[in-house]
Amino acid sequence: MKPIIALVDMDAFLASVEQALNPDLIGQPVIVGGMPGTRGIVICASYEARRLGVKFGLPLAEAYRRLPRAYFLKGDIKTYRDFWAEICDIFDSFTPLVEPVSMDEAYLDLTGSIALYGSIEALTRSIKDIIRQRLNIRCSIGVGRSKMFAKIACGLAKTKAAGGGEGIAIITPNEEAIILNRLAADKLPNVGHKTRKLLAELGVHTVKQFREIPRSILIELFGKRGTEWYDYARGIDKREVKTSAIPKSISRETTFNADSIEQNFLRGTLYYLLERVCLELRRLSLQTRRVEVKIRYVDYQFIDQAQTLTTCADSEPEIFPTVMKLFSDLYTRKVGIRHLGITATCLLPSLKQFGFFDQQQERYSNLSMGLDKVRRHFGYHAIFYGKTMPLGDKFREVTDGYELRTPSLSL
């Protein structure tokens, strides 16, 4: 039997959760990210808001100018995580092969489940119906014989859902070649913005054009990734649904209410963001080998820089010197900063096997795990590093930390 892979994507997830919690918001334009008149960006917009010109990433001030009658909400990451956990439980009831991609999207291997439902159509409708009945939120489902075609199909399904359709799309093997030939090149897996620009400079805009590039040229231009794209352009995707997939990255970031050039406050914010990143690393039993710092200035200029660590790490004291070096290298303009972010990449399973010469790393790790334990019992502010003390005057204290401007990104 050929594999049957589905990608389930929750439609405007954060806004849909808010509508499920408050039925008065159903059918209304909902914007999650912050209140009108405050700094920040749109984290999620309901389809009603999207149809009226408000989408992810738009500054809140511009969103309010375009749609003053919308319902603006700050959002609550804990609530969204609870909903996502329930959704994952529903997925598990259909198949044990579930690979979450993010907090609103997951791949499901349905190959062994079809016999129970008779057809792909009946199975996907059952998934949608149960999510809708239990949680009163919608999802789009794309199905194909590989992750790539499931992703492409999901894009088609979301287009249907945005137009009021059923939100299900199935790509059969007979349709694959036709769909690939008319597909944009940046719809292939892992083709990002920079690669798309380079391909455009080469005159490559579609998958059909991409397929004309010899494998040797792709390898010369993109290394190992070139081999993958050579296969993807021909409809070959051997990736399996992995139930214990390691995320590609973990990031935390925030937008300030007011621009800042205050070094202690910026340093404290960076340390706090790193704490949240490291807390998630330790929760998932992962370590990072590479860290990135992002800065957005008051005039919206965006810059970022990454550096590889000398050893894999999951504790703040080990990583923070690298974070500060990156920040010092990046912060060259004497103007206010409105947004900071930290991302950990090159993630690997954590191996707590310290050698004779790793005593310092062992102390850092034990210290961080000890802090985690104390905070789980008594709350974040029961014990903390002095570096985060300047945040007390800027951010509101909550039980498990500080309430940052973009809670859906930063907690």
Residues 6+ positions from 41 with CB-CB distance below 8 Å:
33, 56, 57, 58, 59, 60, 255, 406
DSSP helix/strand/coil, 170: strand
Give bridge partners of residue 7 from the DSSP assignment. Answer: 107, 142
Question: β-strands 286-297, 337-349: how paired?
Answer: antiparallel
Distances from the Cα of 151 to the Cα of 156, 206, 255, 288, angstroms: 9, 17, 31, 27
342 within 8 A of 247, measured Cβ to Cβ = no
Clarify whether 105 is annotated catalytic.
yes
Q: How many Å apart are CA 205 and CA 215, to the nearest integer? A: 17
Distances from the Cα of 7 to the Cα of 2, 173, 245, angstroms: 16, 17, 15
Q: How many Å apart are CA 63 and CA 72, to the nearest integer? A: 9
DSSP helix/strand/coil, 339: strand
Q: Which of 99, 105, 228, 292 is catalytic?
A: 105
Question: Among residues 33, 65, 71, which one has the least CA distance to residue 49?
Answer: 71
Over its C-alpha atoms, the chain yields an Rg (Å, rounded) of: 23
Q: Which residues are catalytic?
A: 105
